[in-house]
Structures are given as structure tokens and as C-alpha cells.
């Protein structure tokens, strides 16, 4: 897989994650509003399960978004290491590599 293909995949995953998060938030809100007006019973219990699942989906989508942000950050750091650093001495290059390892 090329770098361009990987970036396209990451962008697509990020877009899908944003959409899933927004939809799950809406489902959670609707389930909450409808659930408040229902009497106790199986239907209300089922709606509470849907609300809990939507909340979990929102949290998972946020975690995926944070992971993608970290991947982007590491990618930028790696690119800065790969680019020719004509002014850097050997010690500075080692420090940058160690810093990048700390994020992996």
C-alpha cells in the first residue's frame, strides 16, 4: 500500500467515524426523549438498551478519532525525520529518533 493510499484510507475512516458519532449522538438523544415519556415495561427497557449502545458507539467513535489524530502526529514526526536535515548533526538526529519512538 502506498503512502497516498494509506492517507486516503485514514481520511475515509475519519469521515466515517465522524458520521457514526453524529448519528449515534442523535439516536441517543431520541431514545432518551422517547424513553422519558414511556411507562415502565419491556419497550422502555429495550429503548434504554438502544440508548446505552448509542452512547457506547459515541465513545468508541471518539476513541477512533483520537487514535487517528495520534497516527497523523506520528506521521508528521516521521516525515520530519525523513526529510534531509542538512543543518542537523548526528546527535540531533538521534534525539529526534528517540522522541519519535516515545510516541509509538
| Sign of the Cα pseudo-torsion (23, 28, 33, 35, in order) | positive
What's the mean pLDDT in 62-82? 88
State the Cα–Cα distance between residues 35 and 50, nearest whole angstrom: 10
Give this prediction's pTM.
Answer: 0.65
The pLDDT of residue 7 is 86
Give the domain extent around 23: 3-103
Tens-place pLDDT, residues 73-95: 988 888 888 876 545 556 776 77
Total structural domains within the chain:
1
Q: Has residue 42 got a pLDDT over 70?
A: yes
State the Cα–Cα distance between residues 27 and 49, nearest whole angstrom: 12
Amino acid at each position: 500500500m502506498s503512502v497516498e493510499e494509506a492517507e486516503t484510507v485514514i481520511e475515509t475512516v475519519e469521515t466515517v467515524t465522524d458520521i457514526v458519532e453524529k448519528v449515534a449522538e442523535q439516536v441517543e438523544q431520541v431514545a432518551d426523549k422517547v424513553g422519558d415519556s414511556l411507562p415502565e415495561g419491556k419497550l422502555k427497557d429495550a429503548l434504554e438498551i438502544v440508548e446505552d449502545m448509542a452512547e457506547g458507539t459515541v465513545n468508541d467513535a471518539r476513541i477512533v478519532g483520537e487514535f487517528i489524530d495520534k497516527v497523523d502526529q506520528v506521521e508528521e514526526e516521521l516525515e520530519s525525520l525523513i526529510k534531509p536535515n542538512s543543518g542537523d548533526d548526528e546527535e540531533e538526529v538521534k534525539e529526534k529518533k528517540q522522541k519519535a519512538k516515545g510516541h509509538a
